Amino acid sequence: MQLGFLTACLPDDDLAEIARWAVEQGFDALEVAGWPSPDPRNHIRVDRFDEAERDRVGRIFAETGLTLSSIAYYENNLHPHQGDQVNAHLRRCVDAAAALGCPTVGTFVGRDPGLPVRDNLERAAGVFKPLVAYAEDHGIELVIENCPMKSWHPDGYPGNLAYSPELWEWMFTLGLKLNYDPSHLVALGIDPVSAAMPYISEISHVQAKDTEILPEKINRFGFYGPISGEKGWYRFRVPGLGQIAWQQVIGALRDGGYDGVVSVEHEDPVWSGEPEKVRTGLGIAYRTLRHLVRG
């Protein structure tokens, strides 16, 4: 396995700068943000990907020796008004990944919040079958992160229909793969090791993020969280600062035959705000995971 991180946590930095820093710290890989402009999370300019952009990005990875593990574009592919635009950009991400020799593109299933889950699943089949076929024709796997995206639903219900093993099984029938992130399982009361073990052959990418449970908050709001805009009963942390047993998680992946990239997704509010704080958080994650990932 290799250890990397998702570049979205450093939106104001140039990809070349991020890559140089990653090598200096000992990282092996980068999962590179590919949102369209004006979103600053566009370290690969997928929306204007041409020969010059291909050469620029390819040169960065050739010179640093880093692995490009995935192009990241986590948006709502079932959005009732913007879904077509999201789907179109996802195809552009596939084109860029194929040109760069990158094996995966990461996204969300999403949801139309105005429809019940069963209707969304039917709609998703129609949306994703051609997307999966397009990716396969280009030698790319579409990987879905198991984040509930509760902020996408007006009542805080899951806005990304990929949050449980039951839904993973449904995704796999469409040809989608899993970008496994154990942090979201903890926040749903699911044991991340037990949940992952039957499906490791379907995991094509891994994101490493930790979860800290806040007891005083869950005692006030309960499992479903607050009805106001107040923060809920857990928060994401960099690996090593939450309650996930990373030795067990990485051990289960290794025992199941996973040998790909473990990519730190930095969403820790304590180690955010300034680029140096973000880098400190990435350093904490690196020291937590390096000996586990590399064996």
Peptide bond into 38 cis (omega under 30): yes
pLDDT of residue 276: 97
- Which has the closest alpha carbon to 36: 26, 47, 44, 25? 47
| pTM for this entry | 0.96
Per the structure, the count of domains in the chain is 1
Q: According to the model, what pLDDT value does residue 117 have?
A: 96
Q: What are the structure tokens assigned to 227, written together?
A: 């009805």
pLDDT of residue 229: 63
- Which residues contact residue 231 at a Cβ distance below 8 angstroms, ignoring those fewer than 6 apart? 217
pLDDT in tens, 44-103: 999 999 999 999 999 999 999 999 999 999 999 999 999 999 999 999 999 999 999 999
Query: Is 142 a residue whose pLDDT tops 80?
Result: yes
Q: How far apart, in whole angstroms, are the C-alpha atoms of residue 25 and residue 22? A: 5
Q: What single string gives the DSSP state of each residue in 55-78?
A: HHHHHHHHHH--EEEEEEEEEETT
273: three-class secondary structure by DSSP: coil
- Is the CB of residue 205 less than 8 Å from the CB of residue 171? no
| pLDDT tens, residue by residue, 239-270 | 999 999 999 999 999 999 999 999 999 999 99
Please give the Cα distance from 203 to 192 (Å, whole number): 13
CA neighbor of 163 nearest in space, from 141, 187, 142? 187
Percent of the chain with pLDDT over 90: 91
Q: What does the pLDDT read at residue 156?
A: 83
Quickly state the pLDDT bin for 28 (edges 50, 70, 90).
Answer: very high
Phi, psi of 72 (to 5 degrees): -100, 125
pLDDT at 231 > cutoff 80: no
Domain of residue 89, CATH code:
3.20.20.150
pLDDT of residue 290: 98
Q: What is the mean pLDDT of the chain?
A: 96
Domain with 222, as residue range(s), is 2-294
